[in-house]
Amino acid sequence: MRRTETVHTRHQSLEIWKSELATEFRVAGAVHASFHRRRYLTGLAWDMIAAAALLGQNHPPQSVLMLGLAGGTAFRVLRHLLPECRLTALDIDPEIVALASEHMDLDALGIEVVIGDAYPWLAQNRRSFDVVIDDIYLAGTTDVFRPRAWDSGLLEHLKRAVAPGGVLAVNLVTGSGHRTMQSLTRRVLREAFPTVRTLTSAAAMNEVLVAGDCVATRRRLDPYADSFGEWRDRVYWERIEVQRVSGIRPL
């Protein structure tokens, strides 16, 4: 791939990298969104985010809310797997959404896109969704960060957006500098929901926590492997691991 452009939006600076078949948005040295004309999966966080949306009692889900759209990588997977699902996304950065429309065929996914700050939107929201995905990160100078710490108001707003039988999925960057937020999020979700599972994949520097009254096991994902025509996609799908978060312990 080669860098074709550097764009400075109001919220971040991103590089656009392209090859004949693929496009990536890179922020602070990390891949922020990915698009491939022939494949859906990447082996990274978006695979786990998409898989998390399939683990609720309301299966297959009829509605998904994504907080933090960026290039729509995870929603591209979900649109492929769930062609009839209603997909709604919020993003604070209209410029990155416009770039995704230009470079990543975002408009073809049929997403309801709301431009704005997710936190005040959640506070006023009265809609409910089978799946709510919290993937809110902002870009710092050298790394990404979650812009708001957990508090009772945020948790209440997120839970209110989850329909009965639905799940809340939270994407977390792991590794040095992120362990405090990772441990806190595990604790908050474990105390607020009867079941919490963690999704990981060998090459990803993330975990996705899925919380709800009942969260399915890895077995739920197995039939979806046949939905992917490319062998790489099937390999990446099979690498997703699902485990129960049964206690609260330091990472």
Q: According to the model, what pLDDT value does residue 175 have?
A: 73
Query: What is the C-alpha separation between 44 and 202, in angstroms, rounded?
Result: 9
Determine how many CB atoms are found less than 10 A away from the CB of residue 2. Answer: 7
Q: Each residue of 154-165: pLDDT tens digit?
A: 999 999 999 999
Q: Average pLDDT of 231-248?
A: 91
Q: Average pLDDT of 57-66?
A: 97
Domains of the chain with CATH codes: 40-244 (3.40.50.150)
DSSP, res 108: G
Element spanning 196, H or E: strand 195-200
Residue labelled with tokens 């799940």? 167
Q: Within 13 Å and on the Cβ side, how many CA atoms surround 240?
A: 33
Give residue 232's pLDDT band: very low, low, confident or very high (50, 70, 90). very high
CB under 8 A, 24+ apart: contacts of 219-222: 220/54, 220/55, 220/59, 221/51, 221/54, 221/55
